[in-house]
A = this chain, B = another copy of it.
Amino acid sequence: MTDPQHVTAAVLVIGNEILSGRTKDANLPFLGAELNKLGIQMREARVVADIESEIIEALNACRAKYDYVFTTGGIGPTHDDITAGCVAKAFGQKLIRNPEAERILRERIAQMGVEVTEARLKMAETPEFADLIDNPVSGAPGFKVENVFVMAGIPRIMQAMFEGAKSQLRRGVTLISVTVGSFIPEGTIATELGLLQDAYPDIDIGSYPFHFDGKPGSNLVFRGPDQARLDEAADRLRDLIRNLGGEPVDDGVVVPKTDD
């Protein structure tokens, strides 16, 4: 974690509805891709239920281990929205009604012409030493405590919050990727590919098999910080594919989604 070039993150997805299969999480792929653009590597994700002890345990494990933790979900007005209280307990801080958050919420409530309820004001609760994260979509802010960013679960709102908060993140080295695919199946190319991985320890080589048009094949993704090294390794892969009787396809073989 102390390597200034490697900035790491974890995501904590909070909500029974994700675990029951009722709701498909869309925040993890979004955050994975967006953090990567900033040179921040997402190293782990956890999905936990709306249970205080579980949320606190997962949060404390992740915030000690990674540079940043992003939580999604559980900051609405209902009884099952318990994230703010859990974050306060995890940090040993008091849960307060945040004056700035209350001001924002009351303004929003007035605009909407709805009633000021205790439940709505609950969305102004934050740990005592939290900084707010702006919510341009629906008003109720997220917040940040030390290295933990607490955001909404609804993707549209989460994305807007992340957009506003990302300027605060320390950037690492952005990993770029080169993909080469072919109809050479994994089992045929795997040994040589392992040797190529050994020769390029600075590059992460991932192999993604597919079955398309009645034939097996694989897309090979090279990720690393240095374009020249990636190009060099990819050229060696293209030679390897040709030696095995295949035709390398730049950017990978496009496989229809239903055929995975």
- Please indicate the chain B residues that have their CB under 8 angstroms from the CB of A190 in the complex: 76-79, 117, 119-120, 122
Contact with B along A185-222 (1 / 0, CB 8 A): 11111110110010000001111110100000000010
Query: Secondary structure of the A side of the interface?
Result: mixed
- Please indicate the chain B residues that have their CB under 8 angstroms from the CB of A204 in the complex: 16
Give A251 Cβ to nearest chain B Cβ, in Å. 13
The residue in chain B whose Cβ has the minimal distance to the Cβ of A209 is B76
Q: Which of B19, B122, B185 contacts A44 (CB 8 A)?
A: B19
Chain A interface size, as a band, is 35 or more
Cβ of A21 under 8 Å from chain B: yes
The residue in chain B whose Cβ has the minimal distance to the Cβ of A13 is B45
**Cβ-defined contact, B187 with A114, below 8 A:** yes
CB-contacts of A1-51 with B (<8 A): 16-25, 28-34, 36, 41-50
Q: A78-B186, A78-B194, A119-B188 given. 5 additional CB < 8 A pairs?
A: A21-B33, A24-B29, A46-B47, A119-B191, A120-B190
